[in-house]
Chain A
Amino acid sequence: MFHPGVTPRVAAANDPQMECGIQDNVVPRQSFGDLDRWMERYQQADPDAPAALVGAISPALLRFFRSQVASREQADDLLQETWLRIHRVRHTYRPGEPVLPWIYAIARRVRVDGYRRTRRVTLHEIAMELLPERPAPVRDRNLGPAFDTLVAALPEAQREVVTMLKVGGLTLEEVARATSSTVGAVKQKAHRAYERLRDLLQSGEGAKGAAQ
């Protein structure tokens, strides 16, 4: 039974069958409220703040990177790089402002740099010599298959918006802030993404992924 307006994350958290591998990692929306306070304490050099922030936000950030890049290894690297940058520019967080768009904006920049780096390495290294054919990527058994496979078919900008909305749990306003965009532009991207998803489902591509 579907529940209109319920995000996958919330649906997963409410579904007892999905408890395994989800409940421990998914950060409920209400706990994000504490992040603002932890961020302020982080700026004041509270030694407990880094662990609290890293523990609360990293699963969502990892998910964000996994929806955009291929391997878990790359996503781990990007996660570490994001925390380094967050640490470097932590003074730019203004107390009272929502912390999630601030973090996702930095993560987004890290992802762009990561993408360029990977592309450069791929261009250079493959051109030098012929590499043995890569084995087909094996999906991690713990990884939720359906939603990922479905959004993978979307263009990058739409995938980013849908991931932030449905997986990150950000509001439209927060996504707009994180992507240096306007709320109207975010709505438009989400609208186009949903239309495309519906077409994909009808044509069967998405349904195949969902059935996995």
Chain B
Amino acid sequence: MKCNDLAKALSEEMPLSLEAQEHVKSCKRCQELVKALNLPVAVESLPPATLQQIAEGIATNLRPVSPVAPAGYFLGGIAGIFVSIVALCVYRMGALAIAVMAPLQTVAILTALAVSTGLLAYSLVHQMIPGSPQRVSPRLLPVGIAVSLTIVIAVLFQFQHEQNFWGRAWPCIRAGTPIGVLAAVPFWLILRRGAILFPAMTGATTGLLAGLVGTSVLEIHCPDLDAWHILVSHLGIAVLCALAGLIVGLAVEIKGYAVNSLNSNHKGHLA
């Protein structure tokens, strides 16, 4: 066993193995580390009056509250909203792309969109409850999904040199963006049932999810199969919405801490 392995063993929750203990005995550096990690931690005393003050502060007007619903309830809600809006929009606009895409393209792109939606919804449902377990880092997920969808589109569709690129892109952007904005409203109504601790991160995730509603509608509706067109005017809507969500979240964070700052300067104490 090497010193590096011991650091790894210490970061596990299990007690040190016999081999590790032998190494500690023979290695002075590791002995010092283990000793240091076992140094006593004295806790500063909190005056009972302070504790009482805090407890009394929060006990004033204490009312019973109902715990939030289970995660599956919110997950179902988000999925329901997503599917309903996509179905409604496709019903109104038509499913022209399904007719021109190859079956493999149809299945692959719709699966990729469904998986992305599922992952984002799962992440959001856990972000709204403090201390929830996260299987995938919520910071990296929006970026990971945007990159993955870009790769999927680049692999599935051919890059062509269209004439009048922006003339063809603009109607899609104009149709998809309001759908994303519209979808963000019910998502936000669901999220406000919980406690958002990091609004910028949650804003970006919500924006991307709402934008994917617009992207999904366009993927089913728009018969233009140029990869550039799909990347810019379909997936671009999701990225735009994610950026908008990020900006809104940052604004909320700045406003939130400014308000807290004001409270703590003037009247923030529980007393």
Of the listed residues B38, B51, B139, the one surrounded by the most CB atoms of chain A closer than 10 A to its CB is: B38
With a CB–CB cut-off of 8 A, which chain A residues contact B42? Answer: 12, 18, 21-22, 142-144
A207 contacts partner chain B, Cβ-Cβ < 8 Å: yes
Q: B11-42: contact bitstring with A at CB < 8 Å (1 yes, 0 no)?
A: 11111100011001000011111111111111
Flag if B39 contacts A146 (CB, 8 Å): yes
Contacts of A95 in B (CB 8 A): 67
A171 touches B44 (CB 8 A): no
Are A63 and B33 in touch, CB under 8 angstroms?
A: no
- Do A210 and B54 have beta carbons less than 8 Å apart? no
Does B143 belong to the interface (CB within 8 Å)? no
A45–B64 CA distance with the chains assembled, in angstroms: 5
- The majority secondary structure among interface residues of chain A is helix
Chain B contact residue count (CB 8 A cutoff) = 74
Q: Per-position contact with B for A1-16: 1 when CB-CB < 8 Å, else 0?
A: 0111111110110010
Which of the residues B14, B36, B132 comes within 8 Å of A201, measured between beta carbons? B36
Partner of B33, one of A26, A81, A172, A197: A197
Chain B neighbourhood of A86, CB < 8 A: 58
List, in ascending order, chain B residues with CB within 8 A of A63's CB: 41, 43-44
Which residues of the partner chain A approach B14 to less than 8 Å between Cβ atoms? 5
Once bound together, how far apart are the Cα atoms of A22 and B41, in whole Å?
Answer: 8
Within 8 A of B (CB), among A74-92: 76-77, 79-81, 83-84, 86-92
In the complex, which of the residues A102, A180, A187 has the most CB atoms of chain B within 10 Å of its own CB atom? Answer: A180
| A202 to B261 Cα, complex, angstroms | 42
A101-B131, A113-B256, A182-B134 known; A207+B32 contact, CB < 8 A: yes
Q: Which residues of B contact A15 (CB under 8 A)?
A: 40
Q: How far is the CB of B169 from chain A (nearest CB, A)?
A: 36
Contact A182 B137 (CB under 8 A): yes
Residues 134-161 of A, flagged 1 when their CB comes within 8 A of B and 0 if not, give: 0000001011101110100000000000
- Out of B16, B43, B52, name the residue touching A4 (CB < 8 Å): B16
Interface pair A51/B133, CB less than 8 Å apart: no
Q: Which of B73-129 contact A (CB under 8 A)?
A: 127-129
Contacts A54-B58, A140-B44 supplied; 6 other A-B pairs, CB < 8 Å: A3-B38, A5-B15, A47-B62, A84-B57, A146-B40, A177-B133
A sample of 22 cross-chain residue pairs with beta-carbon separation below 8 angstroms, ordered by A number, consists of: A5-B15, A25-B46, A26-B41, A26-B43, A47-B62, A54-B58, A59-B44, A81-B260, A81-B268, A83-B54, A84-B58, A92-B128, A92-B129, A100-B131, A102-B131, A117-B264, A143-B44, A181-B137, A182-B135, A195-B4, A201-B29, A207-B32
Q: Which residues of B contact A (CB under 8 A)?
A: 3-4, 7-8, 10-16, 20-21, 24, 29-46, 50-52, 54-59, 62-68, 70, 127-139, 194-195, 197-198, 256-257, 260-261, 264, 268-270
